[in-house]
Amino acid sequence: MTRGRKQELSPRTSPLHFFGSEVRYAREEAGMTQSDLGAMVPCDPSTVSRIEAGALAPDRHFAETCDEAFPEHNGWFTRFYVDSRDWNQPHPDSFRPFAVYEASATELYMFEHSLVPGLLQTEDYAYAVLSRHPGVTEGEVAERVAARIERQAILRADEPPMLWIVLDEAVLTRRVGNPKIMHEAVSQLADLARQPNVVLQILVDSGAHVGLQGSMQIAETAGAAMAVSLEDIADGRIVDEPVTVAKLTTRFRWLQSEALPAGVSLERMERIAEEKWNQGQ
């Protein structure tokens, strides 16, 4: 049987390729197929192929399984995984720089038209969103959910950032997961809106507005906007060019001006949580 051409790897320059090349070497030395290793994880053989090709970061469980499958490597796979968090952290590459801005911001401005912002999600809501990504493994989902929840530490800090949030009402009425998940998610938003450092407004019956072009989060420190995280279907991008940041800040202000006042928004959230999502819990 003729074997297909192997993916060329660059283990000296890419940790992903280095890990993948070591998995491939160990597997072939052990006389195992990708299906054999996949059955141990368990995962699809295509997942093993993508990891070996350096096209997919492994999760911790995959690394631990490799240590079990190839004991002669003395735990190298898990050690490398743990020591290489800069490349295997579960945030998308496009978001990682913004996580630094977010953690140091004194003010955060958020607009969302479809989903609860990642920073404000409950664990179950985050799981319901992230588990719908194509080709994702259970291990990857678990790690991404944990990373998303860990970001919320800034909300519990002694001096948390000021949050200015505008949500299209569709965020509150779109079913993600089941009614219980939605009730908890909307109730958590309402609890957050009662905090003294939070202003949360709902955009209602607004038709075709500029915010439908994409969600955004603006990180600001000491009154100066540093960067904007823009969400899209390709995992988004970070913008820090001053002219563009200023334009996006203006658009956020417009959305704020069109939204309901904070007090009225809170009442609306509480009503949606109880009337739409609280089904005899």
Contact present, 113 and 207 (Cβ < 8 Å): no
Q: Angle CA(105)–CA(172)–CA(158) in degrees, nearest 5?
A: 30
- 238, 99 in Cβ contact below 8 A? no
Query: In whole angstroms, what is the distance from residue 21 CA to residue 12 CA?
Result: 10
201 pLDDT higher than 90: yes
Averaged pLDDT of the chain: 87
Query: Are 61 and 41 spatial neighbours (Cβ–Cβ below 8 Å)?
Result: yes
Beta carbons of 108 and 220 less than 8 angstroms apart:
yes
Tokens found for residue 263: 């007090």
Q: What is the pLDDT of residue 93?
A: 67
- Which pLDDT value is given to residue 144? 85
Q: Which residue has the tokens 């938003």?
A: 189
Q: Does domain 15-87 have CATH number 1.10.260.40?
A: yes
Give residues with Cβ within 8 angstroms of 66, minimum separation 6. 23, 26, 37, 73, 77, 78
Burial 21-55 (b: 16+ CB within 10 A, else e): bbbbebbeeeebebeebbeebebeeebbbbbbbbe
Can you give the pTM of this predicted structure? 0.70
Tell me, what's the pLDDT at 10? Answer: 44
3-state secondary structure of 263: helix
Cα–Cα distance, 183 to 274 (Å, whole number)? 7
Span 96-277 CATH architecture: 2-Layer Sandwich (3.30)
Residue 2 has pLDDT above 70, yes or no: no
Task: Determine the Cα–Cα distance for residues 240 and 41; give it in Å rounded to an integer.
Answer: 41
The whole-number average pLDDT for the span 241-265 is: 94
Instruction: Report yes or no: 202 and 269 within 8 Å, Cβ to Cβ.
Output: yes
Domain positions in the chain: 15-87, 96-277
